[in-house]
Amino acid sequence: MRPTHLCLAVLVAAVWGVNFTVIEIGLDHFPPLLFSALRFLAAALPAVFFVGKPKVAWKWILGVGLALGVAKFGLLFVGMDAGMPAGLSSLVLQIQAVFTALIAFAVLGERPTRLRLLGMAVALCGVGLAAVDEGTGGPLGAFALVIAAAVCWGVSNVLTRKASPPDSLNFMVWVSTVPVLPLLLLSLLTEGPSADLAALRALDWQGAGVILYVAWVTTVFGFGVWGWLLRRHPASTVAPFSLLVPVFGMSSAALFLGEPVSALRWCAAALLVGGVALTSLAPAPMKASTASVRPTAPMKASTASVRPTKASTASVRQATDHAPLSDAP
């Protein structure tokens, strides 16, 4: 990877990590569900008029839009508003790689390798330590909401893998059109029209800047550059940079928000990031149906010889999915 491309990959990870701190600031200006709706509205407009028509079926756009936009980001924003620290949120969300692998096994029949199972176990130990640390100084209910957000992220990753979008930026912009109305409706029902109107009337430059950052910088710029890098380098080269997201997330939260980072939390971070690395970067699992095929005839043997290419393609998609749709949060 060229030095300029290396710098771009680190920049995207930094943008996505700092995004958690920006979200924390934004929650001081908006109710969480309204904030999430405004984020997707700004990400979709005016970009939707410039990225061209959708390149996948609408069922995938709707499915990912609901799982990622409404469920994942709705739960994340509500969890952070309920007291989940920004830095810890950036760390705990990485457990989505484990949920992605588990859901892919249940839905797609992808059998995890032993190395991947080891990575899941290590990552879960990291989440357990983080829960113990959070239980001594924060609400466990908010922690559970962020875990639920990671589960929904795993669902959206599997849906994205099934959709196989040829253009990640085009896909993400069209996905951003889906959550706006459901999130607005949920906000009106749960947060109330008076709270929403009060937040909109009090909109200032800082609030507008927060929306533009989480929409244009993390979504449009982040995914645009990430997709550009994936088209020029193997996914196994690009995907590991997403592991820097919690490093930037925890560091920026400590620097700008004054969030303390205990020794126990650093241990949790080391375990979770290490486990996610094993889970995400281990060799691609074989589908159960593929593993059961016995190449008895010459034609079957020749077909089996082609399968590594398909496996490598699945590996590319998987590494792409494990990167924050990452958009980051």
Separation between Cα atoms, residue 269 and residue 130, nearest integer Å? 8
| Per-residue model confidence as pLDDT tens digits over 83-99 | 999 988 988 888 888 88
Q: What is the DSSP letter of 137?
A: T
Tally Cβ neighbours within 10 Å of residue 302: 10
Contact 197, 31 (CB under 8 A): no
Please state whether the peptide bond connecting residue 193 to the residue before it is cis, i.e. omega within 30 degrees of 0: no
pLDDT confidence band for 150 (50 / 70 / 90): very high
- pLDDT computed for residue 112 by the predictor: 79
Q: Which residue has the higher pLDDT, 274 or 303?
A: 274
pLDDT confidence band for 136 (50 / 70 / 90): low
- pLDDT computed for residue 281 by the predictor: 67
- For residue 85 the two structure tokens come to 């620290």
- pLDDT computed for residue 276 by the predictor: 79
| Per-residue model confidence as pLDDT tens digits over 5-27 | 989 988 999 999 999 999 999 99
Question: What number of residues does the chain have?
Answer: 329
Q: Which residue has the higher pLDDT, 119 or 1?
A: 119
- pLDDT computed for residue 284 by the predictor: 60
Q: Which amino acid is at 142?
A: A
Per-residue pLDDT for 309 more than 80?
A: no
Mean pLDDT of 20-36: 96
Q: At what angle do helices 73-81 and 32-44 cross, to 10 degrees?
A: 140
> What is the reported pTM?
0.82
Separation between Cα atoms, residue 153 and residue 37, nearest integer Å? 17
DSSP codes joined into one string, 169-234: HHHHHHHHTSSHHHHHHHHHHHT-HHHHHHHHHT--HHHHHHHHIIIIIIIIIHHHHHHHHHHHS-
Q: Which residue has the higher pLDDT, 116 or 181?
A: 181
What is the rounded average pLDDT for all residues in the chain? 83
| Per-residue model confidence as pLDDT tens digits over 204-252 | 999 999 999 999 999 889 888 887 887 788 766 777 788 888 889 988 9
Phi–psi pair at 287, nearest 5 degrees: -70, 150
Per-residue pLDDT for 312 more than 70?
A: no
Per-residue pLDDT for 305 more than 90?
A: no
Tally Cβ neighbours within 10 Å of residue 163: 19
Which span out of 121-125, 139-143, 184-188, 291-295 was modeled with the highest average pLDDT?
184-188
Q: Which residue has the higher pLDDT, 133 or 252?
A: 252
| Per-residue model confidence as pLDDT tens digits over 251-299 | 899 999 998 877 888 888 888 888 878 876 666 655 554 444 444 444 4
CA 292 from chain centre, in angstroms, equals 33
Which span out of 140-144, 177-181, 307-311 was modeled with the highest average pLDDT?
177-181
Tally Cβ neighbours within 10 Å of residue 67: 23
Query: With pLDDT > 90 as the criterion, what percentage of the chain qualifies?
Result: 45
Q: Which residue has the higher pLDDT, 297 or 145?
A: 145
- pLDDT computed for residue 178 by the predictor: 97
